[in-house]
Amino acid sequence: MELHILLIFMIFAAIVAIEVKDLLSSVIAVGAVGFALCLAFLVLKAPDLAITQLVVEILCLIILIRATINKDLPLVIEGRWIFNTLSTLGFIAVFLLFSWLALKELPRFGEPIMEVVKKYLQEGVSKTGAVNIVTAVILDFRAYDTLGEATVLFTSVIGIMAILRRPGRKKKNEK
């Protein structure tokens, strides 16, 4: 029951974040969505994800506020209002149709199919020595995923440094 309340709160906060005019209020509303997601992870028995989501949300808010402060847009009268809205709603209708077809094949909520994980749960402690099964999965059984994640993060840092670089300045003058 508490999951329903949290999800409805998240939907309302997301609508506020999309629709409000002021950019700073919009960023704060998306922060509310992130913290509600952290609570939902706690209810779903995933404490690792709750800690990570909490700290990542704080850093994400700082970066977003840094980008949007003092840079506001005046209200614009948008042209072709009816066409844009109708095409957007059409895309969303197509998405909902296909997702409804896919949802019929999923297992019911609360009764997962645990074929692969059965082996991890039985042999996790004896094979890796780690008590936290999530850590055992991401750093031992499926460490290739973590290697790929490290590569993505490395590429992203290189990309940001290349985009934000000041061209044509000497190192001596750089502050």
Partner 1 sequence: MRNNPETGMTLIVKTITRLTVGLILLFGIYIILHGHLSPGGGFAGGVIVALSFVHLMLAFGKDVAVARISKNMASNLESIGAMMFLLVALLGFLGGSFFLNILAKGNPFNLFSAGTIILSNISIGIKVGVGLFAIFLALVVLEKSK
Partner 2 sequence: MILYFLCLMLFCVGLYGVLRKRNIVKMIIGLGIMEYAMNLFFVLIGYRFHGRAPIDAKDQNIFNMVDPLPQALVLTSIVIGLAITALVISIAIRIYEKYGTFDITKIKRLKG
Residues found near partner 1 in the complex (CB under 8 A) = 47-48, 50-52, 55-56, 58-59, 62-63, 66-67, 125, 127-132, 134-136, 138-140, 143-144, 146-147, 150, 153-154, 156-157, 160-161, 164, 166, 175
| Distance, CA of 14 to chain centre | 13
The answer to whether 41 touches 50, Cβ cutoff 8 Å, is yes
Place of tokens 């974040």: 17
Tokens of 100: 């409804």
Question: What are the backbone dihedrals phi and psi of residue 68, each rounded to the nearest 5 degrees, phi first?
Answer: -100, -5
Query: Which is nearer to partner 2, 172 or 174 (by Cβ)?
Result: 174
Q: How far is the CB of 170 from partner 2 (least distance, A)?
A: 21
Q: Is 70 in the site for partner 2 (CB under 8 A)?
A: no
In the chain, how long is the greatest CA-to-CA distance? Answer: 64
Residues 87-146 that bind partner 2 (CB under 8 A): 87-88, 91-92, 95-96, 99, 103, 106-112, 114, 116-117, 120-121, 124-125, 131-134, 137-138, 142, 145-146
Binding partner of 166, given partner 2, partner 1, none, CB within 5-8 angstroms per partner class: partner 1
DSSP state string for 6-37: HHHHHHHHHHHHHH-S-HHHHHHHHHHHHHHH
Q: Work out how close the CB of 171 gets to partner 2 at its nearest, in angstroms, rounded to a whole number.
A: 21
